[in-house]
Amino acid sequence: MENDAMNASTFTPLYELEKATRMKRWWAEATNAMRSQSVWITIAVMMTVTLGIGWLDNITGFEVTWFVFYGIPIFLAVWWAGNRAGLFIAVLSGVVWWLANMSTTPYETQLGYAWALANRLVYLCVVVFAVTALRNKQEADAARIQMLEERRQLEKDIVSVSEHEQQRIGQDLHDGICQQMAAIGCAARVLAEDLQAQGIQAAHDASLIEASLRMVVMEARNLARGIFPVHVDRSGLAAALEDLGKMMSSLTGIPIVVNDCVDVPLDAPEVSMHLYRIAQEAVANAVKHSGATEIQVAMKLEDEMLELRVEDNGKGMRPTSRTRSDGMGLRTMHYRAQALQAVLAIETQPQGGTLVSCRMNLKDLQQLKHHNDHEEN
């Protein structure tokens, strides 16, 4: 019984929500259909409704008033055809009310009846202006929402193009330049072996050239791996972060410690890529701006909350940077966090240094993935 009561109490709000959603959708469709028609069609329909209300007002007499119902065609006329159509229907409603109640009016003089008509016309005009303000607000809100959606789509496209370009450059660097330099290194090694076999002193120089080429190839591959981390997939984010730490340490000479990185199985590869890029940008900012001597990267999972942390022991953030995003990198980090429905925080530590944390709920991530899959289908 208790389960049935709980199911019923859960079902009722869901049913009401679905019902409200259907009504809202129906109203939007009706509004779009009427606004796409000629204004005169709306005026003709509202005139018919107004005359029908006037007929009911006439047969029921003055004691049963229908005056408030004249607001319905006025509201629809303004909402669908604009304020001029609403003013026309308002004046028509006043005239219809005058004629419908003329034979049963309790006013002793025509002046009193005319004064009552003037009061009602003022009320009807107020309805017109109120609905006009409501329509203008609704249109402004719709335009603002559309602008925000277009901005979000533009940001998404910019990040997507940037991601594809990075992948292309990384792939070209790995498959093109790295392979050519590796081939040159092989040729230098063969040359060194030939010169050594002939007892020529230049064999040592050739060996040094081959060793230098091997180091350059390794650095180029590490760089390509940072630009295009091919192994950031469903279960390779932790390994990608470890490789990021090793690569940045070798390139900058700053110790980058990657610890406590849990291997979280993420269903969408773009989620892993977003988190990797946030960590990459945070590490790069710490290297360039903080003057840190050590950077720590960690990723923890507690009660469905996944947190990515990048912490350094540098000089911290400038006060102005706490309230605004100064660079493209910070704005991109915020966008990536927004795309994951995550919370990105950048703050100065009490003991010095900067902490960049990105917290996200895996349940919200699953709902976002299902929503995106539904939109794609």
Q: Which residues of the chain have pLDDT under 50?
A: 1-3, 5-11, 230, 234, 320, 322-325, 377
Q: How far is CA 106 from CA 111, 166, 217, 342, in A?
A: 12, 83, 102, 68
Tell me the residue range of the domain where 302 lies. Answer: 231-377
The residue among 109, 136, 156 that closes a domain is 156
Residues 124 and 245 in one domain: no
The pair of structure tokens assigned to 343 is 């919370």
Q: Any idea how long the chain is? A: 377
The residue among 117, 141, 156 that closes a domain is 156
Residues 244 and 337 in one domain: yes
Residues 142 and 59 in one domain: yes
**184-192: long-range contacts (C-beta < 8 A, 24 or more apart)?**
184/213, 185/210, 185/213, 185/214, 185/217, 188/213
Residues 262 and 351 in one domain: yes
* Within a domain: 361: yes
Residues 152 and 238 in one domain: no
* Within a domain: 182: no
The residue among 137, 156, 175 that closes a domain is 156
At residue 322, the pLDDT reads 47
Which residues make Cβ contacts (< 8 Å) with residue 329, sequence separation at least 6? 281, 284, 285
Residue 271 CA, chain-centre distance (Å), reads 14
Domain with residue 288: its CATH number is 3.30.565.10
* Within a domain: 188: no
Residues 274 and 366 in one domain: yes
3 state SS of 313: coil
Residues 235 and 363 in one domain: yes
CA distance 136 to 248: 54
The answer to whether the CB of 305 falls within 8 A of the CB of 329 is no
Residues 148 and 64 in one domain: yes
Residues 252 and 112 in one domain: no
The pair of structure tokens assigned to 173 is 């660097």
Please list, residue by residue across 328-358, b when 16 or more beta carbons sit within 10 angstroms of its beta carbon and e when fewer do: ebbebbbbbbebbebebebebeeeebbbbbb
Closest CA to 59 of 18, 2, 100: 100
Residues 150 and 238 in one domain: no
**pTM of the entire structure?**
0.52
Sequential DSSP letters for 69-125:
GGHHHHHHHHHHH-HHHHHHHHHHHHHHHHHHTTTT---SSHHHHHHHHHHHHHHHH
* Within a domain: 191: no
Count of domains observed in the chain? 2
* Within a domain: 195: no
* Within a domain: 328: yes
* Within a domain: 169: no
Residues 151 and 9 in one domain: yes
* Within a domain: 214: no
Sequential DSSP letters for 161-214:
HHHHHHHHHHHHIIIIIHHHHHHHHHHHHHHHHHHHHTT-TTHHHHHHHHHHHH
Tell me 62's DSSP state.
Answer: T
